[in-house]
Amino acid sequence: MNKLKIAIQKSGRLNEDSLRILKDSGISVDNGIDQLKASARNFPLEVLYLRNGDIPQYLRDGVVDIAILGENILIEKGQDLPVIEKLGFSKCRVCIAVPKNAIYNSIKDLDGKKVATSYPNTVREYFDKNSVEANIHLINGSVEIAPNIGLADAIVDIVSSGSTLFKNNLKEVEEIVRSEAVLTMSPKISAESKEILDKLQFRIQSVLKARKSKYVLLNAPNERVENIIKILPGMRSPTVLPLADEGWSSIHSVINEETFWEVIDELKTNGAEGILICPIEKMVL
């Protein structure tokens, strides 16, 4: 039977969340600690555990059909590869940083300077766009140390909380790229594998929708129900059920995580009581 081949980071920041999204989609695989290849037990999927930076070439060569990797890697090494789904984890930014006490007014200040990075293509493209000629110095890790040891005047690296920059006496001065984990696809994927991919993507989308939503149950006096329904649109419309206690109803609905607290506040001011919020496992629309 044909299997869809997916590349997942062998170890590092993407590994755990990538396996979790498969697991939440009902697909269980071993975690790649002692093996480079694993088959899913209940879905036609084979997982190859690879270095993140190597994955674009494997996709191009058709060695794997799809992959989960940081969008920043696609920008650096795989601009020919499509983002087929944004996955909402490993959010970070690729930024320019300089020593905390350096004077920095604009990108032009980097003209003729030495810049250390693990993302040379991304940096070159950004500098070209801004007509800056800098000397790009490629290093593969611990980039933030470069200015402190006299190796560079500035760096370009991943920033998330900013604590690595802070600890190394650096300040962020420009944001070049925003990134999150994405699902991408080989240009050589077969029609058969594409069919499996469509099924997998459908499952992933229902997990992602569920992660962004909460199920809400609340009680309210009947005369308040109409107002509360206006606050809670629900997937089609909220469910309203009578309570055993006469004159009261129970209302059930789904609310979006982004507007969650505002909606809860509004519900309370409109007479909602006994509000319960539950996570949703899957959402199939």
Ligand X SMILES: O=P(O)(O)OC[C@H]1O[C@H](OP(=O)(O)OP(=O)(O)O)[C@H](O)[C@@H]1O
Ligand Y SMILES: Nc1ncnc2c1ncn2[C@@H]1O[C@H](COP(=O)(O)OP(=O)(O)OP(=O)(O)O)[C@@H](O)[C@H]1O
Binding site for ligand Y (CB under 6 A): 9, 12-14, 51-53, 70, 72-73, 90, 92, 158, 160, 179
DSSP string, 179-192: E-EEEEE-TT--HH
CB of 167 to ligand X, least distance (A): 8
Q: Of these partners, ligand X, ligand Y, none, which one is at the site of residue 157 (CB under 5 to 8 Å by kind)?
A: ligand X
Round to whole Å and give the CA distance between 237 and 19.
Answer: 34
CB of 97 to ligand Y, least distance (A): 14
- Of 66 and 116, CB closest to ligand X: 116
205 binds ligand X (CB under 6 A): no
Q: Of these partners, ligand Y, ligand X, none, which one is at the site of residue 163 (CB under 5 to 8 Å by kind)?
A: ligand X
CB of 19 to ligand Y, least distance (A): 14
Q: Of these partners, ligand X, ligand Y, none, which one is at the site of residue 90 (CB under 5 to 8 Å by kind)?
A: ligand Y
In the block, tokens 């030495």 appear at 114
CB of 195 to ligand X, least distance (A): 35
Contact call for residues 168 and 145 (beta carbons, < 8 A): yes
Closest residue by beta carbon to ligand Y: 70
Round to whole Å and give the CA distance between 24 and 282.
Answer: 8
Q: Spell out the alpha helix ranges (H) of the chain.
A: 15-24, 55-61, 71-77, 120-129, 163-167, 191-211, 222-231, 260-269
- Of 55 and 232, CB closest to ligand X: 55
255 contact partners, CB below 8 Å, separation of at least 6: 213, 214, 216, 232, 263
Q: Strand order in 213-221's β-sheet?
A: 239-242, 248-256, 213-221, 273-279
140 binds ligand X (CB under 6 A): no
Q: Of these partners, ligand X, ligand Y, none, which one is at the site of residue 62 (CB under 5 to 8 Å by kind)?
A: none
Q: Of these partners, ligand X, ligand Y, none, which one is at the site of residue 73 (CB under 5 to 8 Å by kind)?
A: ligand Y
- Of 52 and 184, CB closest to ligand Y: 52
Phi, psi of 226 (to 5 degrees): -60, -45
Name the amino acid, one letter, at 26. Answer: G
Contact call for residues 52 and 35 (beta carbons, < 8 A): no
Q: Of these partners, ligand X, ligand Y, none, which one is at the site of residue 51 (CB under 5 to 8 Å by kind)?
A: ligand Y
CB of 13 to ligand X, least distance (A): 5
53 binds ligand X (CB under 6 A): no
- Of 4 and 158, CB closest to ligand X: 158
Round to whole Å and give the CA distance between 155 and 264.
Answer: 44
- Of 164 and 227, CB closest to ligand X: 164
The tally of CA atoms less than 13 A away on the side-chain side of residue 252 is 8
Nearest 5 degrees, angle CA 149-CA 152-CA 154?
Answer: 120
Of 101, 161, 279, 284, which one interacts with ligand X (CB under 6 A)?
Answer: 161
Binding footprint of ligand X on the chain (CB under 6 A): 13, 141-142, 144, 157-164
